[in-house]
Structure 1
């Protein structure tokens, strides 16, 4: 079975992890701050806070911005549930902004219209979380301009977009946001096995997130509320969590970061090959804007209206052919939990249209041209089968 995504682990990665296993530190040692500095330097941002998952990073990002009961967060329905759950963890309310169905990203026009209505109704969000779907940045300059107009904070969910660029700046630079979030799950662009990070230009936000990731505890003398009792002394100043990244995971992250540009370049070459070879089939790859460099975490195609009626058949038959086609994503508000919160089935019209038509094809750096040709041939075969049963 050709998977839709797969990590790329080489000897350098293995050696780095083994070195940590043979060292004095397995959890909180020198590799975590080294990884953070390397990541921050890569993105040209001041601070990176490494944690055990992107979900944890989203949670502490929300907390650091003071999100709480009575506040509202807006995000994209076209994402994994973590992008919205993070608001609910803080006892805030969640709402969704419709997408552009041809990019999968938050629609600026829909956001502008929704903000105008929300201002009239005195229901503006405290935080907006745009999701850089599939590896392409949202139009952050436009979103940032709207957020400033209404005094709203921005957390970029860039879990898919490590190594991507927006208007010649690295995603993660926080040029148009307060905090950016990365994921290092095995199917993402680089992996630390499990892990995530929150990046920011603000030292206060960084310090707050560092405390939230480690039980709300600090050992920094200058931050103590009373005089230190001795070298063992620490203080819990917040109700934090055990969201720390270990040195084992950070060591893997460091060696993976060395290959990040190669991975992004390889994924772009594979995507271009897909686009060229799929041009004769009744599918449409997602648009990538000219001022963006996508990291192509996912390669999504949209079925035409006729084929979309047989979407389940197409995905099931592709898997029978040894091609693990997938779907990203079911609109979050369609999940049973969110339905119980009061969201209707067709809350975001364009997200529904996208979901009817979207399928994800395999793409990962170790994928061979032979495997890619098999995906293309299998898709052509299955589309013909679907057409014959219409």
Structure 2
């Protein structure tokens, strides 16, 4: 019985040819392909600047650094997310707090955020940065987030790791109309892949320059950024404490080739999702709800089943070689964050979601026969 994963890459001959071409070139890193990949993604998203890095985690880190996050500052994010959305603040010496989710979209709730901000203002502990996470590919309510940012003075990093190719209010996710910076992931289970890789987009040239600086050791060869006149063409200066977060030419070649099929991939994911919606309609579970303002990237297709049945259903699917997963364990429930003071019961919607969530297989090359098998096993498991 063949394995059906919850997500997988689609690498075709064109992708292999693109990577092979780089292997035959003079540049394996720091060549011309990374800028071409950056330009292609920025153009798709109608953003002004893009900075490619070796992972979305690195992109989140340099985004925080570019916005000046540091000791004494707070970053707030959703607790239903991958660990990196919170860890990026700790890398900067800042502190992390969480916001509960909307019960329909599973994204960070604007209402919960507004209540928390009002309370934080009375305690003088407002966040410097808020990171809304576009869970499963559906954008958060970014207009509401922007309105709150203007009232309370925080900056916004969209964690759109799941959402490249999606839209919000008719505009592509990543255009940064409602945020300072948007971050994408190109991990193999995401919508397009560069093997490992990420990208930070912005419309602010100064933020773009700072992120590019932090990406590569804090080092510059630009005379305008230097403290003195260069000694010669070899001269460089380290002007910040940066990191080696560079993307290779090989990764960029794969990502650039895949970008040409981005909208086809998202369109196919919507076909898979519609078929799930129709065939699961009569089963005792909750299928994903899509906000009318959004066109999701559909990285994930998350269903919710009765909490007392979740483990049995999950194990029944795994026993039939269907690689379901759970996205995510709330970050505030992780042992590391408990040691920092997080406690259970603080974010009830998030904890309720976690107790019921199962991610079904969702990827562009999922066949009808494979999807039928998933649904058949799920049907039997729910009524066992």
The alignment's TM-score, normalised by the length of structure 2, stands at 0.99
8 Å contact from structure 1 (residues 319, 325) kept in 2: yes
Higher deviation after alignment, 321-330 or 42-51 = 321-330
Q: CA deviation at 1:101?
A: 2.4
Number of paired residues?
Answer: 382
Tell whether 2:335 aligns with 1:333. Answer: no
Tell whether 2:281 aligns with 1:289. Answer: no
Q: CA deviation at 1:345?
A: 1.5
8 Å contact from structure 1 (residues 158, 171) kept in 2: yes
8 Å contact from structure 1 (residues 101, 353) kept in 2: no
Quote the Cα distance in structure 1 between the aligned partners of 2:341 and 2:5. Answer: 35
Tell whether 2:173 aligns with 1:174. Answer: no
Q: CA deviation at 1:66?
A: 0.4
Higher deviation after alignment, 308-317 or 209-218 = 308-317
Quote the Cα distance in structure 2 between the aligned partners of 1:261 and 1:249. Answer: 20
Following TM superposition, the consecutive aligned residue runs of length 4 or more in structure 1 with deviations greater than 3 angstroms are none
- Within 5 A, what are the aligned runs for 1:122-201? 122-201=124-203
Quote the Cα distance in structure 2 between the aligned partners of 1:155 and 1:127. Answer: 7
Q: What is the SS of the residue equivalent to 2:4?
A: coil
The one-character-per-residue Cα deviations of 1:199-227 (angstroms, maximum 9, x if unpaired) are 00000000000000000001112211100
Tell whether 2:36 aligns with 1:37. Answer: no
Partner residue in 2 for 1:388: none
Q: CA deviation at 1:293?
A: 0.3
The one-character-per-residue Cα deviations of 1:82-119 (angstroms, maximum 9, x if unpaired) are 00000000010000000012211011110110010001
Give the unaligned 5+ runs of structure 1: 386-390
Query: Which of 69, 72, 80 is the equivalent residue of 1:70?
Result: 72
Q: What is the SS of the residue equivalent to 2:286?
A: strand
Quote the Cα distance in structure 2 between the aligned partners of 1:153 and 1:318. Answer: 42
Partner residue in 2 for 1:355: 354
Partner residue in 2 for 1:315: 314
The one-character-per-residue Cα deviations of 1:191-249 (angstroms, maximum 9, x if unpaired) are 00000000000000000000000000011122111000101001100000000001110
Partner residue in 1 for 2:375: 376
Tell whether 2:208 aligns with 1:206. Answer: yes
8 Å contact from structure 1 (residues 163, 261) kept in 2: yes
Query: What do you get for the CA RMSD once the two structures are aligned?
Result: 0.6
The alignment's TM-score, normalised by the length of structure 1, stands at 0.97
- Within 5 A, what are the aligned runs for 1:205-244? 205-244=207-246
Quote the Cα distance in structure 1 between the aligned partners of 2:147 and 2:223. Answer: 39
Q: CA deviation at 1:291?
A: 1.3
Quote the Cα distance in structure 1 between the aligned partners of 2:307 and 2:278. Answer: 22
Q: What is the SS of the residue equivalent to 1:37?
A: helix
Quote the Cα distance in structure 2 between the aligned partners of 1:218 and 1:260. Answer: 33
Q: CA deviation at 1:325?
A: 1.3
Q: CA deviation at 1:323?
A: 1.2
- Within 5 A, what are the aligned runs for 1:81-92? 81-92=83-94
